[in-house]
Amino acid sequence: MDTISMEVKLREKLRREAAEWIEKELEKRMEYAEAEILKQANVAMDAVGAGKAKKHVEKAMAYAEQEIRVELDNYSRVWIEEEVKKRLKMDL
């Protein structure tokens, strides 16, 4: 097997590993984010009312998920590149 096809297969494998990790890590981080957002909403509920607090929670959760996913995707891309270099270097 040539180096290029080895690298392609390795990248595919690492992307699958990273995707699984991202979903697990996202779930953990979203639990924490939800707890913090609900805490803020409970504090604000008296001032803005339940309806606005609920909308805040929905928007904040969507924003948190988007930001966390971007962070994890960026981290995984760097990890994949480092792993490819490391593993191919070991195979040479």
Rounded CA Rg of the chain: 20
pTM > 0.75: yes
Tens-digit pLDDT profile for the chain (92 aa)?
Answer: 576 788 999 999 999 999 999 999 999 999 999 999 999 888 877 777 888 888 989 999 999 999 999 999 999 999 999 999 998 887 65
User: Tokens representing 79?
Assistant: 């990890």
List Cβ neighbours of 32 (8 Å cut-off, separation of 6 or more): none
